[in-house]
Amino acid sequence: MKMKSKNVTIVFIVAVVFVTLIIVLTRHWRVSTTRSCDDGIRNTIDIADFTTNYFAYSVELSAQLDGKTKFEGKISPVQLQQLSESLQSANEFRKALVAGYNACAISKSQYATYLHTFQALDGLSRQIATRGQAQPLTEADRDALKHLVNEYIRTAQTLGG
């Protein structure tokens, strides 16, 4: 009986490793789809790649805001709420941007403009995350953090306009 149980466990482990390997390899070697649009041929964008490249710090910042431990007391509750809403709004816009680009609804030049904005948001997220971790927070740090948060909110609001 022990031998049968051991064999089942080994087969299960091998199956899990095999399935995981297939998933990882197909994701790694997937061929990008090309699409012909009015402004030329383009490779479609995988939303996961876009997220990894341009939103890593924003996701980290969002997680810190949800916990509210890192930023509570460092910026006003109104700014905290606005920053959280801006992060959510930018995340939704990011999904729509990639879908629009892949469907040829957004031109390459429009996409490049929005990509520049996302890069700016990513840079601001990095600065906010770094500034928010400073201990103890000086008055200059607090002012700089407030300025960065306001800049992030302002920049995120340009995405909708």
> What pTM does this model have?
0.64
* Tokens coding 79: 């700014």
What residue spans define the domains of the chain?
1-30, 33-157
Rounded to an integer, the average pLDDT of 2-22 is 72
CB neighbour list of residue 102: distance below 8 Å, 6 or more residues apart: 35, 44, 45
- Arithmetic mean of pLDDT over the chain: 75
pLDDT of residue 153: 87
* 35 C-beta neighbours (distance < 10 Å), count: 14
| HSE value, Cβ hemisphere, 13 Å, CA-based, for 142 | 9
Is pLDDT at 28 greater than 60 in this prediction? no
Rounded to an integer, the average pLDDT of 73-93 is 76
Alpha carbons 152 and 120: distance in angstroms, whole number: 8
